[in-house]
Structure 1
Amino acid sequence: MEPLPVSEIHSSLPQWTSVIQVIEASHTKTTHAARASRVYRRFVFADSHGVKVSAVAFDGNVARIEGLLVPFKKYCIGGASVEEIPKPTLPDLYRFFWIINKDTLIREVFEPDMPSLPPYFHLTPFTSFQHLADSQASINMMGVVLYALPKRESHLDAPLVATRDYVVVDQSNMPILLTLNGDLESGAGDAISDSIASIESKPVIIAVRVRVKTDNYLSLCTKATSTILVSPRIQEAARLEHWYRSNRSALMSSVLEKHYCDPLLLLPPVSDAMLSSISDVVAPTQFPMGASWIKGRVSVDRLHRLWHLACPYCFTPNNFIETLGISCVAFLKDLYVFPRARVKLVVTYGTASINVIALGYEAEKLIGFTAYQLSQAEHEGVTLNLRVADALDGRVLCCYVSRSPESVQLAGVSFTIVTSYWVGDAIPVND
Structure 2
Amino acid sequence: MSTYPQPQSNPNETLNSAPRSHRRKVAKQSAAALALVLLGVGVGVGGDYLFAHNSMVTGTSAVAQSNSPEANKKATQSQPSDDAQPYNRIAEIVQQVGPAVVRIDSSRTVNNPNADLFNEPFFRNFFGSQMPQMPDKEVQKGTGSGFIINDNGTILTNAHVVDGAEQVTVTLKDGRTFEGKVMGKDPVTDVAVVKIAANNLPTLKIGDSNSLQPGEMAIAIGNPMGLDNTVTEGIISATGRTAGQVGVPDKRVDFIQTDAAINPGNSGGPLLNQRGEVIGINTAIIQGAQGLGFAIPIDTARRISDQLIASGKVEHPFLGIQMVTLTPEVKQEINSNPNSGLSVYEDKGVLVVRVVPDSPADKAGLRAGDVIEQVNGQPVEDADALQEAVENSGVGKNLELGLKRNGQEMNLAVKAGAYPTAQAETN
Q: TM-score, normalised by structure 2?
A: 0.23
Kindly indicate whether structure 1 or structure 2 has the higher relative contact order, using CA contacts under 8 Å at least 6 residues apart: 2
Q: TM-score, normalised by structure 1?
A: 0.23
Larger Rg: 2
